[in-house]
Amino acid sequence: MAEAPPSLLSVCIDALTQQLLRPCDDDLLPCIYDLPSHLLDTLITRLPPFALRTFHHHLPFDEEGFSHDDSTKKRKRARDWNLNSAWQRLFQLRWPDRVKQIHRTDWEQLYWETHLQDCLDEAVEVALIPSFTGYIGDIQISDSILKYIGFVGNTNHSTCDHSKLSYHCLQFGSHVSCLGLQNVLCTAETSVLLRECKLQSLVLRCIRSKEQIDGLCKLLAQHCRTLTSLEFVHCALSTDFINAIFGSLVIERVQKHGIQHLSIIATSFLEPCTVSLPSGLVSFLSSGRSLCSLKLSENHHGWTFAKDLFVTLLNLSSGISVLDLSRNRISGWLFYYRRSLSGSHLSFGNGKSLKLLRVLNLRENNLGKDDVQHLRYALEHVPNLEELDISDNSIEDEGIRNLIPYFVGASETCPRITCLKLENCDLSCVGVNLLLHYLSTFKGPLKSLSIAENYLGRQVVEALGNFFHTPIEVLDIAGIGLGSDGFQELQSLIKEEIKLVKINISKNRGGTETAKFLSKLLSQAPQLVDVNAACNLMPIESLAIICCALKFAKGNVQQVDLTGHIWDYKPEHVSPYAEFVHNGLPILVLPSPSVSAAPHDHDP
Ligand SMILES: *[C@@H]1O[C@H](CO)[C@@H](O)[C@H](O)[C@H]1NC(C)=O
Ligand SMILES: *[C@@H]1O[C@H](CO)[C@@H](O)[C@H](O)[C@H]1NC(C)=O
Ligand SMILES: *[C@@H]1O[C@H](CO)[C@@H](O)[C@H](O)[C@H]1NC(C)=O
């Protein structure tokens, strides 16, 4: 059968598209905007990105509607065209997985930013080949990427350099503010390639050599006025490198930097700055009031580093609000800090404090009970702390005992902690009962607590029952060994309405009692939104109990996670439960139909 002939409309649109893909001969451009609006609407929905960009950038008026010839007709149209949604559609077409996490934005900007990142990532693959010697800017971009923006088949590769990385950097750079760069891209050439970008946020990976640092410093110096966020991942930094990096961030005329977020993650600090704070970092911390979050995680920092950092921040009365030192080995840091506070060689004014520090993350640092004791005193200098995470440290019950005075206001400052995480801290029911007792008695502002992954057993149930009736909103009691009896008892302790919004009761081997507890919870917690009840050895019959409760719940619940159960069912058996949806997504997250029901033969 012969193909249907193309309509006149599609022939014309193809011709206009070709025209817009070659913006150099733009004689035709002005006339395009005078086409009737229904034709323009059709045109806009069919243009590939590069053509849409030409169309967008040659508008004879700006998008706010200020026409150069002041005609109200055109003014109205510019808004009606709604180019931003055309860009959103193009973005969705190319990166369907990423679109969900993004809310309102300038989609054109995001489109080209993501496009350039894809081009750079592709170039990395080429530049990483040991035999690569040429210019990075000359690396060819693949046809599959070029096709997305409308280039393949429309352009003559030998007459233009559309297919070179440099073309994309210079052409689309002006839209780009956030980039991630791999080590091989940090060369002297990079700052030339990225000169059109207005870089605000930069993520740098695997930077290790002097040459890469030199290339990076050039780039940093070039963008120091716009940069606000800098992240290093898997790098190796020597004292010289650190001095060079932070030196290049200083805006010369004002002797300050504008960085607000600094993260250095999974990076090795080479001798001697494993133990002492590198001077470059100290001057960075002192030469800018803009810094609000500092994350130094997984870098093997020892206690001397952490102590020097804390003392320096305190001495500067730093304005940071987030400090993350997780996954290091800083046990002992505050002991020496306390000693140095009382020592006369330090001229600490009593008034020094980290007034703005709200979030402190000390996760996985090998901290012990004594560290918690010292922390309590140090926190007197952190009057507005709201979130404290000491999970994955073996602080034991004694550690909790040492922390309790802080919560009950025994110290001079009144604690404002709203979120406390004590996951996997080797706590027993003795320590946790004590903590819960104090938290329930001295009703503080605490809204979120995690005591997950500590083996507490059912002896914690009574204290938990009381604690449920405090204003707590988020509670994580995953993996605390409640068991079937624990859930049963807890259920009977819920008497009045409770304020819980989110709860994690997973990994507690609760069986059917988990479902009965949930059912009670759903009826008594009208604000409940999110429940994680995974891995509780529930039989499939529990599903009916939970569904029945959901029907009568007040309707705020958005998710109930029931994964991690070996349920042998056919998809059609659970289709009745598809009635429970929130925003188009199922509320019940079910395990996939049992895999173990049909055991795999393992080849010997
Ligand atoms: C591309 O341009 C070159 C040089 O101008 C020319 O020789 C060649 O024929 C063109 N190729 C196509 C497919 O148009
Ligand atoms: C605290 O800052 C002052 C300058 O403001 C400095 O002289 C002193 O050495 C600093 N102390 C510490 C422990 O960093
Ligand atoms: C509990 O569940 C929440 C969300 O469902 C999750 O973010 C959190 O990591 C879980 N806690 C543990 C200890 O697994």
Mean pLDDT, residues 164-177 taken together:
94
Residue 150 amino acid letter: G
**What does the alpha-carbon distance between residue 182 and residue 602 come to, in Å, rounded to a whole number?**
41
pLDDT, one tens digit per residue, over 132-152 is: 988 999 999 998 999 899 887
- Tell how far the Cα of 574 is from the centroid of ligand 3, in angstroms: 25
Q: What pLDDT was estimated at residue 352?
A: 82
Q: Which ligand is nearest to the CA of 508?
A: 3
Q: Are residues 560 and 534 in contact, defined by beta-carbon separation less than 8 angstroms?
A: no
Q: What pLDDT was estimated at residue 337?
A: 59
For a substitution probing ligand 3, which of 424, 474, 532, 561 has the most ligand atoms within 8 Å of its CB?
532
317 lines ligand 2 (CB under 6 A): no
Q: How confident is the model at residue 344 (pLDDT cuts 50, 70, 90)?
A: very low
Q: What pLDDT was estimated at residue 342?
A: 54
532 lines ligand 3 (CB under 6 A): yes
- Tell how far the Cα of 315 is from the centroid of ligand 2, in angstroms: 6
Q: Which ligand is nearest to the CA of 424?
A: 3
Q: Are residues 302 and 274 in contact, defined by beta-carbon separation less than 8 angstroms?
A: yes
- In the three-class reduction of DSSP (H, G, I as helix; E, B as strand; rest coil), residue 530 is classed as strand
Q: Which two tokens stand for residue 120?
A: 């750079």
HEC string of 120-153?
HHHHHHHHCCCCCCCCHHHCECCHHHHHHHCCCC
Q: Between vectors from CA 364 to CA 402 and to CA 414, what angle results, nearest 5°?
A: 35
478 lines ligand 3 (CB under 6 A): yes
Return the higher-pLDDT residue of 593 and 66: 593
Lowest mean pLDDT among 152-166, 368-382, 421-435, 482-496: 152-166
Best mean pLDDT range from 148-157, 274-283, 376-385, 479-488? 479-488
453 lines ligand 3 (CB under 6 A): yes
Mean pLDDT, residues 178-206 taken together:
95
pLDDT, one tens digit per residue, over 406-446 is: 877 655 556 789 999 999 999 999 999 999 999 988 777 89
Q: How confident is the model at residue 330 (pLDDT cuts 50, 70, 90)?
A: very high
Q: Are residues 308 and 333 in contact, defined by beta-carbon separation less than 8 angstroms?
A: no
* Ligand 1 cavity residues, CB under 6 Å: 156, 158-159
- For the chain, how long is the longest CA-to-CA vector? 96
**What does the alpha-carbon distance between residue 56 and residue 172 come to, in Å, rounded to a whole number?**
14
Question: Is residue 370 scored above 60 in pLDDT?
Answer: yes
Residues ≥6 apart with Cβ < 8 Å to 277 = 305, 308, 309, 312
**What does the alpha-carbon distance between residue 122 and residue 15 come to, in Å, rounded to a whole number?**
31
**What does the alpha-carbon distance between residue 273 and residue 286 come to, in Å, rounded to a whole number?**
18
**Residue whose CA is at the smallest distance from ligand 3 atom 1:** 504
**What does the alpha-carbon distance between residue 120 and residue 122 come to, in Å, rounded to a whole number?**
5
Q: What pLDDT was estimated at residue 223?
A: 95
| Percent of the chain with pLDDT strictly greater than 90 | 57
**What does the alpha-carbon distance between residue 563 and residue 505 come to, in Å, rounded to a whole number?**
12
Q: What pLDDT was estimated at residue 380?
A: 84
Mean pLDDT, residues 321-344 taken together:
78
Q: How confident is the model at residue 594 (pLDDT cuts 50, 70, 90)?
A: low
Question: Is residue 44 scored above 80 in pLDDT?
Answer: yes
Q: How confident is the model at residue 206 (pLDDT cuts 50, 70, 90)?
A: very high
| Percent of the chain with pLDDT strictly greater than 70 | 87
Q: How confident is the model at residue 65 (pLDDT cuts 50, 70, 90)?
A: very low
pLDDT, one tens digit per residue, over 232-266 is: 999 999 999 999 999 999 887 777 899 999 999 99
pLDDT, one tens digit per residue, over 517-558 is: 999 999 999 999 999 999 999 999 999 899 989 988 867 899
311 lines ligand 2 (CB under 6 A): yes
Query: How much is the pTM?
Result: 0.88
Q: What pLDDT was estimated at residue 268?
A: 93
Q: Which two tokens stand for residue 2?
A: 């012969």
User: Domains in the chain and their CATH numbers?
Assistant: 292-454 (3.80.10.10), 468-481+493-604 (3.80.10)
